[in-house]
């Protein structure tokens, strides 16, 4: 099993450009999450999904959209990137709400110039 994978690993954007980050998991997990990690601020939840076709807002959802068209994939979109979205983005998954662990992907480092 590959676990949780993220594509791409690195990306540089110009202000106003759009892009999509892909998260894929092969563990048949229902729950998937997108976080951002900024220096000195820990991880903050952007959006999450409790199953195929469902999404919900986390702590910092503004400027991002997500989709979960297939159970194994969770996409994070930036329609008009801003320098404030420069961050490391982590995807995670878990089997259900009460499972004791989230499985994290390796992260995507995004720089917006």
Residues of the shown chain interacting with another protein in the complex, contacts defined by CB under 8 A: 31, 33, 35, 40-45, 48, 50, 56, 58-59, 88, 90, 92, 97-98, 100-104, 106-107
Residue 26 C-beta: closest distance to another protein, Å: 17
How many other β-carbons are positioned within 10 Å of the β-carbon of residue 30? 16
Residue 29 C-beta: closest distance to another protein, Å: 13
Nearer to another protein (CB atom), residue 15 or residue 103: 103
Nearer to another protein (CB atom), residue 74 or residue 90: 90
Nearer to another protein (CB atom), residue 13 or residue 34: 34
Residue 48 C-beta: closest distance to another protein, Å: 6
Q: Which residues contact 91 (CB under 8 A, 6 or more apart)?
A: 4, 6, 21, 23, 25, 32, 33, 34, 35, 74, 76, 104, 105
How many other β-carbons are positioned within 10 Å of the β-carbon of residue 87? 21
> β-strand 103-104 against 87-94: which pairing, if any?
antiparallel
């Amino acid at each position: 099993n590959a676990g949780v994978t993220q594509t791409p690993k690195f990306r540089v954007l110009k202000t106003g450009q759009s892009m999509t980050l892909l998260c894929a998991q092969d563990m048949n997990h229902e729950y998937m999450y997108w976080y951002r990690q900024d220096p000195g601020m820990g991880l903050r939840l952007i959006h999450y999904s409790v199953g195929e076709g469902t999404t919900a807002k986390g702590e910092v959802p503004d400027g991002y959209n997500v989709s979960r068209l297939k159970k194994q994939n969770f996409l994070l979109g930036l329609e008009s990137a801003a320098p404030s979205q420069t961050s490391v983005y982590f995807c995670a998954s878990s089997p259900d709400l009460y499972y004791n662990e989230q499985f994290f992907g390796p992260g995507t480092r995004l720089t917006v110039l």
